[in-house]
């Protein structure tokens, strides 16, 4: 057994087991149950292959046996550097069966050097990868480079997918050892690295139970069951995509993996796969709605729900999807605590646009003062969001200090995000505590500026970023991407912000028009990239000034 220090305790296990959020199931055992009771029901598909639950179980058992036969033991790490394909799902399930730990958060934009470093940090025992995948893997000899990770005992090398791809893991031993099924769903099964947007990526540890606690509730609240087909547009290497597959497997549904070639029709793929629920990010929603409107489509077969994660959803997109019979779901979560926050099917468009919904059963939130994480904030006061519950991580891998620093004195996990919770329990995000723009001692929350800016009909996306000022410290720069064929003058946008309710003390003092705002694969804005562009002279913010009287004259009737 490879021992890892976690925050798991007998007290924690007793609490969540007695409340029914932690059970005796693992992700693997749920798949095995489905394989035994409905073997011919479909479990997962990518562009070229489709597996039943029986076939998925057989492939999982074969990989688990091969890993064991090559010396990979419970508690050891298995690195997975793949595009979204069925083998990613099998790798997770093989780890869930054997007690190994799946490390799939190695992305397309990672370099060979970065991946090798992460495998050295995790002391990985096995590695699964696709030839040529990654930022520079087509230029570097990965097999030679991975030798630096001396703990790696076995490398599984997959070819890129094609119409002839049928063998899931070529070269597996014909008769591997019988692998004892892991009996403890509280062991670590998933090790995911954070995006590293605020520094060195941290390794987040989850068990089968922490993942399933959220997955079961999400599926229940949105009526995802064994008749559902869930299409994840997020890469399986990212937490949104990874947790999507757990939701599907927990419900006994079918997972559709996003691997469409560039330019292919998403609407057609949704109809072809009989998708009933979609998971993605705002650009996916914008593009899908645009395609439907351009083609004059009315509805998309069985599709009735769409989880849109990563950032706020424009109000007209929400309205457009609802008009098409598709109910959007906004939400909030992070790698450390899964998708614990979301709107519900009966929530109206205003709640979907303006809030991140309510916490699901098994998780709770509390807002603490922004300058004192141990003191609860007052009603309506913007503060740092703290959380605790059954879907919370077991800690950061090999980083006890980071784990301890992530909690306040009463055991609440401090997210670093700012927000408020209203009397009905709906969460409103105000921004990241580290993103606060401080102008002459006054705190300005970027998310508020951005949310109001995107209410303007010409604005597709907005980012509020700090511009250094020698006297005041920082001023707000509003960077916007306008909709195709639309434009907006800075003065018009400032007047709009005023009418929408933005304080004059929070008004942008710089304006920047961009063709695009860089996004992570999960749809979050990479504001630091815009700041880098400014520093390099690639773009230049335009000074602007809000004229309060002029705005009132323009908007107040005589």
Q: Helix 315-323 and helix 282-295: axis angle, to 10°?
A: 50
Q: What is the model's pLDDT at position 1?
A: 43
Task: Judge whether 261 and 39 are in contact, CB under 8 Å.
Answer: no
Q: For 42-125, where are the E strands, in sequence order?
A: 42-45, 50-52, 77-81, 101-103
Task: Judge whether 241 and 235 are in contact, CB under 8 Å.
Answer: yes
Task: Judge whether 335 and 196 are in contact, CB under 8 Å.
Answer: no
Taking the C-alpha atoms of residue 356 and residue 313, their distance in angstroms, rounded to an integer, is 10
Tell me what percent of the chain is helix, strand and coil, each rounded to the nearest 5: 30, 25, 45
Q: What is the model's pLDDT at position 196?
A: 53
Taking the C-alpha atoms of residue 408 and residue 417, their distance in angstroms, rounded to an integer, is 14
Q: What is the model's pLDDT at position 123?
A: 96
* Interacting residues of 473 by C-beta distance below 8 A, sequence separation 6+: 438, 439, 440, 441
Angle at 179 between CA 178 and CA 185, to 5 degrees: 155
Taking the C-alpha atoms of residue 296 and residue 290, their distance in angstroms, rounded to an integer, is 10
Closest among 81, 68, 65 to 153, alpha carbons compared: 68
pTM of whole model > 0.75?
yes
Q: What is the model's pLDDT at position 110?
A: 85
Burial (CB count <10 Å: 0-12, 13-18, 19+), residue 396: buried
Q: Which two tokens stand for residue 323?
A: 């008009």
Q: Average pLDDT of each block of 10 consecutive residues along the chain (558 residues)?
A: 78 98 98 98 97 97 94 96 97 97 92 92 96 86 89 94 83 76 94 72 96 98 98 94 97 97 95 98 91 96 95 88 97 94 97 96 96 93 96 97 96 95 94 80 84 94 92 91 95 94 90 92 82 95 83 39
Taking the C-alpha atoms of residue 468 and residue 461, their distance in angstroms, rounded to an integer, is 23
Q: Up-side HSE of residue 166: CA atoms within 13 Å toward CB?
A: 1
* Interacting residues of 46 by C-beta distance below 8 A, sequence separation 6+: 84, 85, 86, 161, 257, 259
Angle at 130 between CA 152 and CA 51, to 5 degrees: 105
Taking the C-alpha atoms of residue 178 and residue 62, their distance in angstroms, rounded to an integer, is 10
Q: Which two tokens stand for residue 520?
A: 């992570």
- Look at residue 356 and give its three-state secondary structure: coil
Top-tier CATH class for 436-555: alpha beta
> What is the CA 321 to chain-centroid distance, rounded?
21
Helix locations, 123-275, DSSP H: 142-145, 208-221, 239-251, 266-273
C-alpha torsion 435→439→440→441, nearest 10 = -40
Q: What is the model's pLDDT at position 504?
A: 87
| Backbone angles phi and psi of 126, in degrees to 5 | -145, 160
Task: Judge whether 130 and 162 are in contact, CB under 8 Å.
Answer: no
Q: Which residues of 514-534 are buried (b: 16+ CB within 10 A; e: fewer)?
A: beebebbbbbbbebeebbebb
**Domain boundaries 10-421, corresponding CATH code:** 3.40.50.12780
- Look at residue 414 and give its three-state secondary structure: strand
Per-position DSSP letters for 473-507, written without gaps between them: EEEEEEEEEEPTT----HHHHHHHHHHHT--GGG-
Give the start-to-end residue ranges of the domains of the chain. 10-421, 436-555
Q: Which two tokens stand for residue 360?
A: 């699901």
Q: Which two tokens stand for residue 352?
A: 């979907």
- Look at residue 512 and give its three-state secondary structure: strand
């Amino acid at each position: 057994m490879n021992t890892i220090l976690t925050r798991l305790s007998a007290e924690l296990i007793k609490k969540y087991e007695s409340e029914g959020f932690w059970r005796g199931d693992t992700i693997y055992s749920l798949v095995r149950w489905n394989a035994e009771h409905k073997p011919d029901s479909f479990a997962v598909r990518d562009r070229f292959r489709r597996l039943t639950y029986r076939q998925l179980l057989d492939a999982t058992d074969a990989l688990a046996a091969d890993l064991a036969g090559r010396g990979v033991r419970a508690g050891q790490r298995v690195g997975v550097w793949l595009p979204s394909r069925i083998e990613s799902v099998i790798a997770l399930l093989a780890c869930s069966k054997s007690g190994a730990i799946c490390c799939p958060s190695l992305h397309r934009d990672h370099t060979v050097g970065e991946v090798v470093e992460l495998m050295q940090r995790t002391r990985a025992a096995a590695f699964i990868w696709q030839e040529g995948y990654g930022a520079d893997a087509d230029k570097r000899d990965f097999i030679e480079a991975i030798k630096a990770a001396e703990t790696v005992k076995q490398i599984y090398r997959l070819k890129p997918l094609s119409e002839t791809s049928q063998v899931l893991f070529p070269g597996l031993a014909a008769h591997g050892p019988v692998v004892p099924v892991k009996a403890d769903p509280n062991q670590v099964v998933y090790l995911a690295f954070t995006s590293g947007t605020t520094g060195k990526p941290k390794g987040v540890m989850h068990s089968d139970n922490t993942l399933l606690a959220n997955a079961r509730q999400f599926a229940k609240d949105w009526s995802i069951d064994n008749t559902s087909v869930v299409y994840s547009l997020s890469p399986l290497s990212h937490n949104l995509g990874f947790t999507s597959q757990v939701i599907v497997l927990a419900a006994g549904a079918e997972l559709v993996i996003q691997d469409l070639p560039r330019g292919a029709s998403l609407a057609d793929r949704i109809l072809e796969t009989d998708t009933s629920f979609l998971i993605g990010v705002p650009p996916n929603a914008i593009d899908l709605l645009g395609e439907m409107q351009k083609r004059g489509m009315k509805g998309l077969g069985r599709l009735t729900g769409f989880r849109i994660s990563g950032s706020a959803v424009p109000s007209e997109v929400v309205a457009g999807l609802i008009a098409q019979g598709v109910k959007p779901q906004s939400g909030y979560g992070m790698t450390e605590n899964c998708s614990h926050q979301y709107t519900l099917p009966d929530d109206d468009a205003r709640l979907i646009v303006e809030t991140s919904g309510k916490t699901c059963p098994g998780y709770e939130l509390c807002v603490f003062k922004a300058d004192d994480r141990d003191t609860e904030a007052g009603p309506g006061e913007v503060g740092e969001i703290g959380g605790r519950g059954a879907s919370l991580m077991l800690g950061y891998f090999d980083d006890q200090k980071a784990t301890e620093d992530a909690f306040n004195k009463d055991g609440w996990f401090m997210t670093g995000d700012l927000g408020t919770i209203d009397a009905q329990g709906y969460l409103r995000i105000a921004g990241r505590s580290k993103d606060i723009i401080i102008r002459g001692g006054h705190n300005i929350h970027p998310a508020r500026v951005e949310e109001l800016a995107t209410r303007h009909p010409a604005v597709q996306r907005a980012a509020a970023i700090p511009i250094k000022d020698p006297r005041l410290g920082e001023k707000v720069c509003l960077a916007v991407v306008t909709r195709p064929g639309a434009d907006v003058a800075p003065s018009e946008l400032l007047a709009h912000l005023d009418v929408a309710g933005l304080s004059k003390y929070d008004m942008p003092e710089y304006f920047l028009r961009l063709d695009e705002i860089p996004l992570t694969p999960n749809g979050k804005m990479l504001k630091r990239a815009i700041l880098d562009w400014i520093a390099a002279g690639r773009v230049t913010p335009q000074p602007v000034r809000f004229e309060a009287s002029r705005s009132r004259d323009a908007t107040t009737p005589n």
